[in-house]
Structure 1
Amino acid sequence: MAAWTLEQARTHLNAWLEAELTVTSGQEYTIGSRRLTRANLKEIREQIVFWKNEVEKIEVSSKKKARNRIYRIVPLD
């Protein structure tokens, strides 16, 4: 059983995709004499790959469960 549901995995994936968009719009910026750096883009992309794999794994697992059902047929006389 997965540590999270498909919905949770998709939520995390979407959050990391949004983070990537935010970071790519400006990695660093300066306000007055202060310089601010956003999160590490490499780490964000690693998380995106992780969550994509988790979503895929849960989806495949769900499909296998649906396919591997055993049906019992009892002939009627």
Structure 2
Amino acid sequence: MSKAQAQQMIDAYITAELDVLDGKTVVVNGKTMATEDLAEIRAGRLEWERRLSAYSRSNGGFGLAQF
């Protein structure tokens, strides 16, 4: 999956999150979600944000450890 596709997924999850907060039912990756699925939508967004962040770190740079 490309960096652009990861960003598209994040955007889709943000849209779904906003829609659910407005009381709408949404479909993400073929699964219908409503208000009770808000935690799952947020977890999916965080996962895609983590994946997108990995693209930024994979440019050969050094990371810093936090203790």
What TM-score does the superposition give when structure 1 sets the normalisation length? 0.61
Rounded Cα–Cα distance in structure 1 between residues aligned with 2:53 and 2:38: 23
For the pair shown, the structure with the greater C-alpha radius of gyration is 1
Aligned length: 53
Rounded Cα–Cα distance in structure 1 between residues aligned with 2:41 and 2:34: 11
RMSD: 2.0
Of residues 44, 54, 59 in structure 2, which corresponds to 1:47?
44
Amino acid paired to 1:42: A
Could you tell me the percent identity over the aligned residues?
26
Which residue of 1 is the match for residue 16 of structure 2?
19
Alignment of 1:1-77 (within 5 A): 4-26=1-23, 38=34, 40-61=37-58, 63-64=59-60
Flag structure 2 segments of 5+ consecutive residues without an equivalent. 26-32, 62-67
What TM-score does the superposition give when structure 2 sets the normalisation length? 0.69
Q: Secondary structure at the match of 1:14?
A: helix
Rounded Cα–Cα distance in structure 2 between residues aligned with 1:23 and 1:9: 21
